[in-house]
A = this chain, B = another copy of it.
Amino acid sequence: MKNPEQTLGKFIDRQSTAFIGSLDDDGFPNIKAMLAPRQREGLRVFYFTTNASSLRVRQYRHNPQACVYFCDRRFFRGVMFRGRMGVLEDLESKSAIWREGDTLYYPLGLLDPDYCVLRFTAESGRFYSKFRSEDFALA
């Protein structure tokens, strides 16, 4: 892959769903579907909205080891990033990715104590396409 940032950036931006991986208290991997990231900085940092009260948030507070996966089922391609997930609850981070309509999920709006931000920072990546996988460097 010559230009991962361009090739995979486009691929990621077309997906409406992301899958996040976490570790539970017994050390088992867990998976959850999420709305696509609200914002990304290249292939390094992804921001998600979520419920502060959720099981996933509790898990990441306990252990930030994480992965984020995007998948195109039709063409059977997938990209996985391995890294760490941070839980952000400051107003600045929360307002940076807030969108109109989010009150559907967080009735009290930006100040809803159940609204928080997950910031994933990738350390490595792996791309699967045409029956083979390749690791790629993050710029």
- A interface residues with partner B (beta carbon < 8 Å): 16-17, 19, 21-24, 26-33, 55, 65-67, 69, 71, 73, 76, 78, 80, 82, 105, 128, 131, 133
Contacts and interface: CB of A to CB of B under 8 A. Distances in A.
Given A73-B16, A131-B105, A133-B55, A31 B21 contact: yes
Contact of A24 (B28, B55, B82, B133): B82
A33 B76 contact: yes
Identify whether the interface residues of A are mostly helix, strand, loop, or mixed. strand
Q: State the oligomeric state as a number of copies.
A: 2
B16 A65 contact: no
Contacts of A80: 30-32
Of the candidates A27, A31, A69, A78, the one having the most CB atoms from chain B within 10 angstroms of its own CB is A31
